[in-house]
Amino acid sequence: MSDRLRTARLSPSPDWRYAGHSVFPQGYAVPLILASASSSRRAMLEAAGVPFSVQPSSVDETQMKLRLDPTEIALELAKAKALNVSGSHAGDWVIGSDSVVSVEGRVFDKPRSLDEAAEHLRLFSGKTMRLTSAVALARGGQIDWVHEETADLHVRPLSNAFIADYLSEEWPAVSFCVGVFRIEGRGVQLFNRVEGSHFTILGMPLLPLLSALRQRDQLSE
C-alpha cells in the first residue's frame, strides 16, 4: 500500500443501541468531540456542517516525538489524543488528529520565536517538505478507526528578503503552524508544486473521516 494513504478499521460499526437514536441534528446519534484546539480542524468540521464540541487533549506530544519514527508520529499522536479524551466520555465519539512535518528525515515543531521561524524557512528552502496528517476515532476508551495520509510540498528557493517580508505579514499567525505556513493564505507562495490532498495539508484527512462517521451512523447517508 502506498505510504501516502493508510486506513485501518479496528472494529465494526456502532452496536444496535445507537441505531436510529437521534439526539443531534443532521443525523447525529451521540455527541462528537474534537480532541484538538486546532483552528483549522475546527474550521474544516464547521464548514462541512458537522456539529461537535471541542476538548483539547492533555497528551505530552514532546515525549512521543522523541521516541517515535517520523512516519509514525502523526498516527500515534492522533490515537493518543482520541484515547486521552475518550476515557472520560464513555458514550461519545472522539476525534483525535495530528500533523507532522519532516524535511530530509528531520521532524520540525512549531516555531518558538520569529528567529526560529526564519531559520526553519531557510532550512526548507529548495527542499521537499513531507506533511503527514492522521485522524482517529475512539469511543469508550478504545480506538475504533484510524486513517493517515501524506502530502509532499516542494518548497521553492526562498530568498532572505522574501522570508523577512513573509514573516512580517504572517507572524504571529504562523507560530501556531507546523511548517510555518497557512496554505489557505500567503503560505501558498512557499511552494512551486504540491502533491497530496488539500485537507491533509490543512491538518486532517476530512473526506475519509466523514465517510467513517457515516458508516457509524453519525452522519446521514
Residue 16: per-residue pLDDT: 27
Residue 62: per-residue pLDDT: 79
CA distances from 211 to 20, 107, 155, 208, 216 (A): 18, 30, 32, 5, 9
User: Looking at the domain assignment, is residue 172 inside a domain?
Assistant: yes
User: Looking at the domain assignment, is residue 205 inside a domain?
Assistant: yes
Count the neighbouring beta carbons within 10 Å of the beta carbon of residue 66. Answer: 10
User: Looking at the domain assignment, is residue 221 inside a domain?
Assistant: no
User: Looking at the domain assignment, is residue 95 inside a domain?
Assistant: yes
Q: What is the DSSP string of 163-185?
A: HHHHHHHHTTGGGGSTTS--TTT
User: Looking at the domain assignment, is residue 12 inside a domain?
Assistant: yes
Q: Which of 15, 69, 98, 152 is catalytic?
A: 98
DSSP 3-state of 59? coil
Number of independent structural domains in the chain: 1
Residue 10: per-residue pLDDT: 54
Residue 19: per-residue pLDDT: 32
In a structure prediction context, what are the per-residue pLDDT tens digits for the chain, which is 221 residues long?
455 666 665 544 333 233 333 334 444 445 899 999 899 999 999 999 999 999 999 998 877 777 777 778 999 999 999 999 999 998 899 999 999 999 998 999 999 999 999 999 999 999 999 999 999 999 999 999 999 999 999 999 999 999 999 999 999 999 999 999 999 999 999 999 999 999 999 999 999 999 999 999 999 88
**Cα atoms in the 13 Å half-sphere on the side-chain side of 59:** 26
Residue 14: per-residue pLDDT: 38
Say whether 98 is catalytic.
Answer: yes
State the helix-helix crossing angle for 114-124 and 160-170, rounded to 10 degrees. 130
Q: What is the CATH number of the domain that holds 69?
A: 3.90.950.10
Q: Which domain holds residue 154?
A: 5-215
User: Looking at the domain assignment, is residue 202 inside a domain?
Assistant: yes
Residue 61: per-residue pLDDT: 81
Residue 80: per-residue pLDDT: 95
Rounded to two decimals, the pTM is 0.84
